[in-house]
Structure 1
Amino acid sequence: MSASAPCGVTHSILGQPWRWRGLANDDSDTGFRPDALVDQLLLTRGCPRDALESHRSPTIRGFMPNPSIFRDMDRAADRLADAIERSEPVTIFGDYDVDGATSAALLVRLLRDLGLRAGIYIPDRLLEGYGPSADALVRLAGEGASLVVTVDCGAQAFEALQAAKDAGLDVIVVDHHKCSTALPVAHALVNPNRLDEDEGAAHGHLAAVGVAFLLGAALIRTLRARGWFANRAEPKLLDLLDIVALGTVADVAQLKGLNRAFVTQGLKVMAGRRNIGLAALIEASRLTRDPTCTDLGFALGPRINAGGRVGRADLGVRLLTTEDEGEARAIAAELDQLNEERRAIEQAVRDEAEALLAAQGNRSVVLISGAGWHPGVIGIVASRIKERAQRPAIIVAVDEGIGKGSGRSVTGVDLGAAVMAAKDAGLLVAGGGHAMAAGLTVEAERLDALADFLDDRLAADVAAASEARALLVDAVVGPGGVTPELVEALEAGGPYGAGWPSPRVAAGRVRVVKADIVGKNHVRAIVAGEDGRPIKAMAFGQADTPLGAALLGAGPQRRLWLAGRAKIDDWGQRRAAELHIDDAAWAD
């Protein structure tokens, strides 16, 4: 819960109250006492008080479950172990996004270390669409594959998996998307979000790459029990955590529990540049320091994604599995170029979608469609529209009467379940996802009916989420308190991301010394407190909002409280901190 407004802010410039996050200053919790800042950050994000130590430095050992708690895990590990012992032809079938690419790369690299060279199949987003198709699986069987492992897809591929069985092909499904009560036929289906999961359901927040890592652990354990390593070295599964961290963050999986350990330890592995492809991608992204959690989501992930969105779908997994430095540099450069092309395409679609946003009225779920939109960027645009509208958004690219849609949700609204309900109601050709993201295929003539269905189903949840919306603050400091030391203390409570939000500080009172617009829509400001010490501040994407107008027009006489994220200024001549502004409030 959150308590009284810090700084007395009940209605900010952006029209929202400011609240203390979680337990901070909550007098109703008589057991709460002020802790060190890091402890407070952990407690207010759901860490039990008796687990503070393990959450300060999350380790795999501390959070790793027994893989056998998941349904079909042991069956999947046994089948893969058989394939290794028999040198069977195995193909890893992945999705075309980062989670799919990293999941596929993890299994390909692990199997290679175990002496088995697996094939890779990544479907083309435009020509084949999401997930395994009957044609693709039957073709793989015809080419000699005896086992296919689908990663980040397959949980609802009923027709395709039946065709595979009929063709004599064994399929192991490794997925994390929501399942219906009925499950497709498969040799094994490992998914913490199966409705019949028991203990494994507690790990429903894992990305597919996390589930693949658990399968890898189960496989090594199975082979160990069979004596496979009597004359062979065991592969170091932990060396693949850099791939796991990338897929987990890029898929916006909640950074709690095991995922926190994956990312914390994976960043350490990534800093060692052990993966040739990742090292080349870091260089192509022009990162001159060790990557951070933010870099995974905003620098490395988008470049891997660019292959599946606007280029060749298999570029990401090829980069992450190559053993050739020259090939790695060439693929990384190509992905970097494709990412630039993706940005241009995305901006064009985003501009058109934002122009149509006003026509949505008061619908609880924004559903915007357009002909000719590139389906490879609609997920990113949905995320931007969601942020602007402050409610779930689905963007649909229509071509020849069929719409391909991608949606993003807000905390407290399960969009994936609603999309699956729409499919069960006969409104969709296909659809699925998880709480925060979903994909669908819909006939264009049914778009209005779909919008009505989602509006009715999610109206109460969206209203509750909107009512609960407030800007949550973790600390209040004077202007002089925005320092590198503060940033270091705040970062010690990370890694931050979905489900484990980055801390926000309120700083004031300040006057605006200088403000201007940079880039297309960002406001850059220099602010100062009573001591006159200048602080750099940035309000990204706010030039055309009331916040941007306030910063640009405040003048030297008025005083403001600023709320945002304290960051290290990488561009300055000296080591300094800056504030990335989320909101502001007048102090006089």
Structure 2
Amino acid sequence: MLYSKTKWHSPAVDPVQSRELARSLSVSPLVASLLAARGMTAPEEALAFINAGTEEEYDPFLLKGMKEAVPRIKKALQEKEHILVYGDYDADGVSSTSLMIHLLRHLGASFDIYIPHRSVEGYGLHNHALDWALQQGVSLVITVDTGISACSQIAYANELGMDVIVTDHHEPPEVLPAAYALINPKLPGCPYPFKGLAGVGVAYKLAQALLDGEVPEEWSEIAAIGTIADLMPLLDENRVIVRRGLKSMRGSKYPGVRALLEVSAVSVKSVDAVNVAFALAPRINASGRLDHAGRAVSLLTTDDPVEAERLAGELDLLNKERQMVVERIVAEAVSRLEERLKDGKLPGIIVLAGEGWNVGVVGIVASKLLERYYRPVIILDIHPETGCCKGSARSIPGLDIYEALSSCSELMDHFGGHPAAAGMSLHLDNLEAFTAALEEFTSGVLTDEHLVPVTEADGEYSLADLTLQAAEELELLAPFGMSNPLPKFIVREAVVKETRTMGQGNRHLKLVLQQGGATVEAVAFGKGELAELLPPGTGVDVLAELSINEWNGSRKVQLMLKDLSVPQPQLFDFRGVRDAAARTQRLRNLLLPQTGGKQGLAAAVVRKDWLKEQDQPECQGMTFWVYDQYNGISPADNLPGDDGRSVSLLCLLDMPESTEQLDALLRTFPEAENIALLHSLRQERERLLVPTREHFKMLYKWLAAIASGPVPEQEALLRLSRKSPMSLRMLKMMLDVFEELDFIRREQGQLSFVTRPAARDLTSSSHFMRLSQLAEMEQYFMEGSPSELQEWMESRRLGAS
């Protein structure tokens, strides 16, 4: 039994509505059901979504503040005023700044740009930057993707005689800055119909207003990058902008965009929103995280292909460096957390701080730890000289992290954010109290149910539904991103037909799944370690995305596995493995449930002398049990755990020495969902055979020949072993049977043959019955197939219970 990493949830869809949509729109039942699942049940609404036509674009002058901003900018152009574009260092801020550069170049404006340094200056408008602008002769500042909360800074700009036009999309505060114009669709009283524009989307609407709607097509590429990178909902007008931008990008005129696609190994002709999100955006963001965002702005605005190639290469190297920095900090953070854990229990909220934890990537680190532990996470960088801690928080749906921070605001110098993410700064002296206050707040909010991650799927389907035609039709719903995710499908009761690994270090998993008459290949990146748990014949449930694999002119459907589970108990065959202890720990990490749902334990069962012979650092966090001659099985001395009922993973590092021990084992661990066989295999000459009458007839004949008079038993055994293919163990146990039946006598190490014994049936001997049972058990444990052994053990379990 293999647990899924998350709980899967899919909406209930009315089949009648789906059929009506399929008929009205002439689409496949699968696409129709997807539209219905996403709330588009009316044919005209679904058709508008599929078409995403220009009729969905709104008049930019519906944005509150636009009517004041446009004349002021035109006045600045006429009077040749010097304009400052003030941006931000993330991908949306870079895109917004780049778009404004293209716009102001197009208009022939005199301008400068300013983007603050993330780690040196931090987010937002700064007075020292306004002082610099004044020295440059700036009389008009246009902010992009920032400024809506900059009350004191804009008041300072006003004192310096500069007008400020704010274009932003963040949540406005209760008190708004006294800017010349504020353009933000979220402003109170703003009639703009769509509130989900990115910062670059607002800048794009400003360009439309200034150019009477005649915006160059290629500018939509810049708008698309920022919209996707800032995780804005790909619905409504954003859908129009991104579709147009991706179409333009597939034949991009921008050297920077083409160079960035090339260095990201993305085909220009087939670039999509997923490529932008996972290939382009991280490289653009890397500039602001580890260096200065100006390098990314230069890339998106250069006309020189040589410079573009150089800048794209630099961003790619910065992104690789960023990845290494993140990996290092994650490793350090995980190590610190696990050292701190008491009894393996995670706190309700994880707060970790360290020196040298680059403040530009702590948000990414927090996201990675949240994904690993599914808890709210705060990661802070400690300045070694000042003791100032700057950090980022990421949260789960059950906890509003902004509310949690507000509950201990007095301990911080600054904080801000929203329910899912936030940033903060505080002094090291307050860190302990800060952590305690957050843990107390969290304990009163989060329940066990909140700590089970949920993945939203689009429905349950059979493999036969997931056809090449269906995969091709999914493009009707693109582009995919926030609020319009790539569809995820649940397929239950598929069977693994083939299993293999691929990629460097066998990191990735490839399966061939079968269900009825349908067979589909499935790929799971980064899950190569699961291959040994999914032998052919394993029944699985999968959560997957649908894609098309093109190779050598052939096109076939392929599933991209996002999660999977094995709903049935399993028996894993690792008999004879060299390092059983290390394999046991790997199995524990893979097979025990990782989330706040069912909490299982792992147990290892060994012979008594194993614990003395072995060091078990690899088996930490497990209970140890030993085979016992009298009780069958018992907890190891001085080791935790004396109740096997909560054990879900049972690892047999040694096989039982008797059927009584096996039955005791099965009684002790009634909830064991997975059993792993890790015992060594006896040499052929040491194994027992299931005894037959012919074996005893043969032995009786040999004994008559060599033991007519008393003979040393060891000598007799040696002579018998030369004649017989049976092991010494087998021969000794057969002599026990003969002694019990009075066929031989043993006295002082001597063995003698009884010439005229009374007739006795073999089955009347308890030794014969024990030998038969032990040989049968050994045969299953040594030679039986996993399915045969599992079935036999299940029959023993029923008897043992």
What TM-score do the two structures reach when normalised by structure 1? Answer: 0.84
The change in CA–CA distance for 1:467 and 1:426 in structure 2 (over 3 A counts) is closer
The change in CA–CA distance for 1:95 and 1:146 in structure 2 (over 3 A counts) is same
Q: What is the Cα deviation at residue 152 of structure 1?
A: 1.6
* Aligned residues of 1:70 and 1:197 also touching (Cα < 8 A): no
CA RMSD of aligned residues (A): 3.1
Q: What's the counterpart of residue 295 of structure 1?
A: 275
Q: What's the counterpart of residue 220 of structure 1?
A: 211
Q: What is the Cα deviation at residue 144 of structure 1?
A: 0.7
**Residue identity matched to 2:250:** A
Which residue, out of 245, 252, 256, partners 1:266?
Answer: 245
Q: What's the counterpart of residue 6 of structure 1?
A: none
Which residue, out of 334, 342, 346, partners 2:326?
Answer: 346
Q: What's the counterpart of residue 229 of structure 2?
A: 250
Question: What per-residue deviation string (whole Å, max 9, x for no partner) do you get for residues 333-375 of structure 1?
Answer: 1111111111111111122223345558555544332221111
**Residue identity matched to 1:20:** S
**Secondary structure of the residue that 1:241 maps to in structure 2?**
helix
Which residue, out of 301, 305, 310, partners 1:325?
Answer: 305
Which residue, out of 195, 199, 207, partners 2:191?
Answer: 199
Q: What's the counterpart of residue 351 of structure 2?
A: 367
The change in CA–CA distance for 1:70 and 1:560 in structure 2 (over 3 A counts) is same
Do structure 1's residue 176 and structure 2's residue 169 form an aligned pair? yes
Q: What is the Cα deviation at residue 482 of structure 1?
A: 4.4
Do structure 1's residue 408 and structure 2's residue 394 form an aligned pair? yes
**Residue identity matched to 1:383:** S
**Residue identity matched to 1:576:** K
Segment of structure 1 superposing worse, 300-309 or 283-292 = 283-292
Question: What per-residue deviation string (whole Å, max 9, x for no partner) do you get for residues 422-445 of structure 1?
Answer: 69x444333333454333333333
**Secondary structure of the residue that 2:170 maps to in structure 1?**
coil
Aligned positions of 1:83-162 closer than 5 A:
83-162=76-155
**Secondary structure of the residue that 1:267 maps to in structure 2?**
helix
Q: Partners in 1 of 2:546 and 2:360 — Cα distance? A: 33
Q: What's the counterpart of residue 53 of structure 1?
A: 47
Which segments of 5 or more consecutive residues in structure 2 lack a partner in the other structure? 23-29, 569-801
The change in CA–CA distance for 1:533 and 1:32 in structure 2 (over 3 A counts) is closer
Q: Partners in 1 of 2:567 and 2:558 — Cα distance? A: 20
Segment of structure 1 superposing worse, 276-285 or 517-526 = 517-526
* Aligned residues of 2:497 and 2:514 also touching (Cα < 8 A): no
Q: What is the Cα deviation at residue 566 of structure 1?
A: 1.7
Do structure 1's residue 565 and structure 2's residue 545 form an aligned pair? yes
Q: What is the Cα deviation at residue 391 of structure 1?
A: 4.2
Q: Give the paired residue count.
A: 552
**Secondary structure of the residue that 2:261 maps to in structure 1?**
helix
The change in CA–CA distance for 1:123 and 1:418 in structure 2 (over 3 A counts) is same
Q: Partners in 1 of 2:169 and 2:396 — Cα distance? A: 19
* Aligned residues of 2:81 and 2:110 also touching (Cα < 8 A): no
Q: What is the Cα deviation at residue 67 of structure 1?
A: 2.8
**Secondary structure of the residue that 2:138 maps to in structure 1?**
coil
Q: What's the counterpart of residue 486 of structure 1?
A: 470
Q: What is the Cα deviation at residue 325 of structure 1?
A: 2.0
**Residue identity matched to 2:207:** G
Q: Partners in 2 of 1:25 and 1:456 — Cα distance? A: 44
Q: Partners in 1 of 2:162 and 2:150 — Cα distance? A: 15
Q: Partners in 2 of 1:464 and 1:46 — Cα distance? A: 30
**Secondary structure of the residue that 1:563 maps to in structure 2?**
strand
**Secondary structure of the residue that 1:529 maps to in structure 2?**
strand
Q: What is the Cα deviation at residue 517 of structure 1?
A: 7.1
Q: Partners in 2 of 1:180 and 1:47 — Cα distance? A: 34
Aligned positions of 1:5-20 closer than 5 A:
13-14=3-4, 16-20=6-10
Identity among equivalent positions (%) equals 33
* Aligned residues of 2:88 and 2:146 also touching (Cα < 8 A): yes
The change in CA–CA distance for 1:500 and 1:521 in structure 2 (over 3 A counts) is farther
**Residue identity matched to 1:505:** F
Do structure 1's residue 516 and structure 2's residue 532 form an aligned pair? no
Structure number with greater Rg is 2
Q: Partners in 2 of 1:216 and 1:364 — Cα distance? A: 47
**Residue identity matched to 1:285:** S
The change in CA–CA distance for 1:506 and 1:34 in structure 2 (over 3 A counts) is farther
Q: What's the counterpart of residue 591 of structure 2?
A: none
Do structure 1's residue 380 and structure 2's residue 369 form an aligned pair? no
**Secondary structure of the residue that 1:95 maps to in structure 2?**
coil
* Aligned residues of 2:499 and 2:534 also touching (Cα < 8 A): no
The change in CA–CA distance for 1:403 and 1:519 in structure 2 (over 3 A counts) is farther
* Aligned residues of 2:509 and 2:527 also touching (Cα < 8 A): no
Bigger RCO (CA 8 Å, 6+ sep) = 1
**Residue identity matched to 1:351:** A
The change in CA–CA distance for 1:190 and 1:427 in structure 2 (over 3 A counts) is farther
Q: Partners in 1 of 2:2 and 2:8 — Cα distance? A: 8
Question: What per-residue deviation string (whole Å, max 9, x for no partner) do you get for residues 478-520 of structure 1?
Answer: 4455443332223322222122222112335121522337557
Q: What is the Cα deviation at residue 247 of structure 1?
A: 0.5
* Aligned residues of 1:522 and 1:542 also touching (Cα < 8 A): yes
